[in-house]
Amino acid sequence: MSEIRFGTDGWRAVIAEEFTFANVRCVCQAVANHLAARGLREKGVVIGFDTRFLAEKFALASAEVMAGNGIRVYLCKKPAPTPVVAHAVAARRAGGALMLTASHNPAEYLGIKFIPDYAGPALPSDIAPIVSCLAGVLAAAKADRQELAKAFERGLVEIIEPKEDYVRHLEGLLDFAAISRSGLSVVADPMHGAGLGYLEEILTRHGCRVTAIRNWRDPLFGGSLPEPTSLHLRPLAAKVRETGADIGLALDGDADRLGVVDADGRFYSPNEILILFMEYLINERGWQGVVARTVATTHMLDRIAARHGFQVVETPVGFKYIGQVMREQEAFLGGEESGGVSIRGHVPEKDGILASLLFVEMLARTGKKPLALLSDIYSRFGQLYSERLDLRVSEAVKEQMLENMRAWAPQELGGVPVVSFSCADGHKAVLADGAWCLVRASGTEPVFRVYVEAGTDRGKLALQEEVKKVLCANVKEEEMCMI
């Protein structure tokens, strides 16, 4: 049986290679043992799945294992977004959830994400006992199972449709009255993923004119990636311009991240979206308190927070750490540079549907276009230029670059003093002029991610070159490539 490795957000693997029914059953058995050990068996477990190939069949196999362990199953009737499944955990006070998804990964991948009883991404302390238990389960190559027909007879499996509960929750959290008055026109792009129908139905119900693209199930995602980046949202930008819509909104494969393009087809980066949200929540909603961001996310949030006397908590990469701050310190906004966002009053899970609707609310209540809102922020706080570079290398070269990283402790970069240097998650240097850089090595592939932010575009490029010079010392140029 092949090795099963949990990453930052669960286990993902290629279907029919590592991601097999046998392996899925073993993972589910380990989760069942974990729930039993924590006394959560009686609370039951929610099982959801996305639109990928065989996802519903793997969900049924997961349900058989849970039922075989005497755990009540709330099985989603059809593909459901990750945040909707997380909300179902909170709404039903379940012991946790299993989400069959590979998020924005290529079509040949599928995965299992474990959502604990606090309805957010699992922390390492929740994953560690599952991984520990999994070793024994894999060695025995056995999982307890009950046929679904018998599980239904025993009342151990209930088919649920969590959508309406989730939508009612959003209707109590967002200002749909303002959205209805605005009459905004929107192009929705669920990218063939689990968010099919959500934005279209909710916004239409509340007075918006909605056009949808890529709104049918396609396990191949149209030959693209279900990832809402500028590259993959060109069809959305074209449709917005064609229809004259006010805004275009996209969701990734499991709808926990968003993408935005404006009426001119301009793509808004996750960092820009977070900046807009922070100013909006403070100025229009009057919210205050703590903001949580990852180590790789824009420091413009810090500038805004300093002006208002708020605290920014920096976390390691991974929304699980953002969710922890939201739960423990009641942060009113949490976000990451990869597109994950949540707000106070919601589940501590990133949610592309919530974020998309909040973006529409922002436009409705301010009556301004997103670029005007962003330009106003830059006029008051200055502008920061951010970029992430991914360097792919061979396994042999990776070791050399890791050695270069371990020896890196700069006192200055580009003639600017380094005022702080941290190895808490990757290697991050903050400069006296507010610029910063972060280098992180992927734990699963020979890729180095280089994050840079500076006050000018030229400064950003110069800092990138400084970092690459150190990182790639003794490495031949032909042995790496940028992706």
Q: Which residues of 422-455 are buried (b: 16+ CB within 10 A; e: fewer)?
A: eeebbbbbbbeebbbbbbbbeeeebbbbbbbbbe
- Per-residue confidence band for 397, with pLDDT thresholds at 50, 70 and 90: confident
Statement to judge: residues 180 and 149 lie in one domain: no
What token pair was written down for 199? 């934005």
Q: Tell me: the pLDDT tens digits for 131-190? A: 999 999 998 888 999 999 999 999 999 999 999 999 999 999 999 999 999 999 999 999
Q: What is the pLDDT of residue 394?
A: 83
pLDDT category of residue 52 using cuts at 50, 70 and 90: very high
Tell me the average pLDDT across 185-199: 98
Each residue of 207-224: pLDDT tens digit?
Answer: 999 999 999 999 999 999
pLDDT in tens, 416-464: 999 999 999 999 999 999 999 999 988 667 889 999 999 999 999 999 9
Confidence of residue 7 (pLDDT cuts 50, 70, 90): confident
- pLDDT digits over 320-366, tens only? 999 999 999 999 999 999 999 999 999 999 999 999 999 999 999 99
Count other Cβ atoms within 10 Å, centred on residue 220: 12
Q: What is the pLDDT of residue 2?
A: 57
Kindly indicate the confidence band of residue 1, based on its pLDDT and cuts at 50, 70 and 90.
very low
pLDDT above 70 coverage of the chain, percent: 97
Query: Is pLDDT above 80 for 480?
Result: no
Q: Does residue 292 have a pLDDT over 70?
A: yes
CATH code, domain with 23? 3.40.120.10
| Domain coverage including residue 434 | 385-482
Q: Clarify whether residues 417 and 463 are in a common domain.
A: yes
Mean pLDDT, the chain, as a whole number?
Answer: 95
What is the reported pLDDT for 4?
A: 86
In a domain, 168, yes or no: no
Residue 333 pairs with which residues in a beta bridge? Answer: 291, 343
Q: Are residue 285 and residue 389 in the same domain, yes or no?
A: no
Region 26-55: what's the mean pLDDT? Answer: 97
Looking at the fold, whether 368 and 455 belong to one and the same domain comes out as: no
Question: In this structure, is residue 457 part of a structural domain?
Answer: yes
In a domain, 376, yes or no: yes
Structure-token pair, residue 221 = 């995602």
Name, in order, each residue with C-beta under 8 angstroms of 62's C-beta and a sequence gap of 6 or more: 24, 25, 28, 47, 98, 100, 112
Beta bridge partners of 438: 428, 451
Domain boundary among the residues 333, 361, 381 is at: 381
Instruction: Give the pLDDT of residue 478.
Output: 55
In a domain, 157, yes or no: yes
Full-model pTM: 0.95
Number of folded domains in the chain? 3
pLDDT tens for each residue of 91-127: 999 999 999 999 999 999 999 999 999 999 999 999 9
Q: What is the mean pLDDT of residues 409-413?
A: 92
Determine the 3-state secondary structure of 211 from DSSP. strand
Q: Which of the two residues, 387 and 482, has the higher pLDDT score?
A: 387
β-pairing, 73-76 vs 45-49, is parallel
Q: What share of the chain is helix, strand, coil (3-state, %, to 5)?
A: 40, 25, 35
Do 192 and 122 share a domain, yes or no? no
CATH code of 413's domain: 3.30.310.50
User: Are both 157 and 249 inside the same structural domain?
Assistant: no
